[in-house]
Amino acid sequence: MTPSSIVSAGIYKVDEQGISKTNDFLAAEEPLQMRIKYGDPVEQLIKNISVTMRTPGKDEELVTGFLFTEGIIKSIDDISNIQYPTGIHSNIIEVEFKAGVMVEMKSLERNFYTTSSCGVCGKSSIEAITTHCNLNQNHTGNFECSPAIIHNLPDALRSSQNMFAQTGGLHACGLFSVKGELLLSREDVGRHNALDKLIGASLQQQLFPLHNYLLLLSGRASFELVQKAYMAGIKLIAAVGAPSSLAVQTAETFGITLLGFVKARTFNIYTGAQRIKTPAYETSYQG
């Protein structure tokens, strides 16, 4: 966590005792301009590719995950260096590609301003919201997961949300083993940023491909989050909130198990029920 991830603010608190002056903690939200450097080492090209509103911290993971889920890089090996060209922890981050890495200009035409709540808003065309997976998706994620493990995921993720505990204003996502062990978690004011940070961290820690891991989202499951998960090879997505209709359709198309309204004793299966051990679930709650 960087010092700028949480900001203190003076507020007036109103309760049954009246009004009093106190301090509150807020999740920081600042713009991050992402740019890439590529081409001939003698005369490299620099291109701005996106501006996103994010919670400062883990910027290297964020830009790595973003480049991957947008289909601009194929693996972590495409990157030679990540730096802040205008000073450490500035709001501009630059990714330098290795010599010989080809940049598809068609992908780079998806320049957009990304708000903290929606990574799709602002893209230049309907076609731009659909990326193409670089991974070999022949891996089907042929595992089964018991409902008891699914039920425990939200509490495990919440216990790792240090910034949420202080601010109450952040989305989170967690990467779990099929046994329910929390391996990684990331927080951000933007749900898509949190997932990009998680995927970027997974790339940096050589966890790919993610076919045999579980993903938990702290809020709703949107189309773009399902698409980002697909790009990472994730086969089971659980969400504390509801999925959208397009999220369900996309998960069905990609062969992803999508769960919603995950709580301590219940959840909904929208797609991919074969990965959930439903007979064990029924037996455990008999009588």
Q: Is it true that the peptide bond before 3 is cis, omega within 30 degrees of 0?
A: no
Angle between helices 223-231 and 59-69 (to 10 degrees): 90
232 alpha-carbon distance from chain centroid: 10
Listing DSSP states for the chain in one string gives --GGGEEEEEEEEEETTEEEEEEEEEE--EEEEEEEEES-TTS-EEEEEEEEEE-SS-HHHHHHHHHHHTTS-SSGGGEEEEE-TTSTT-SEEEEEEPTT----HHHHT--EEE-SS-SSTT-S-SGGG-----S-TT------B-HHHHHHHHHHHHHH-HHHHHHS--EEEEEEETT--EEEEEEESSHHHHHHHHHHHHHHTT----TTEEEEESS-B-HHHHHHHHHTT--EEEESSPBPHHHHHHHHHHT-EEEES--SS--EEEE-GGGB-HHHHHHHT--
Residue 118 annotated among the catalytic residues of the structure: yes
Mind telling me the catalytic residues? 118
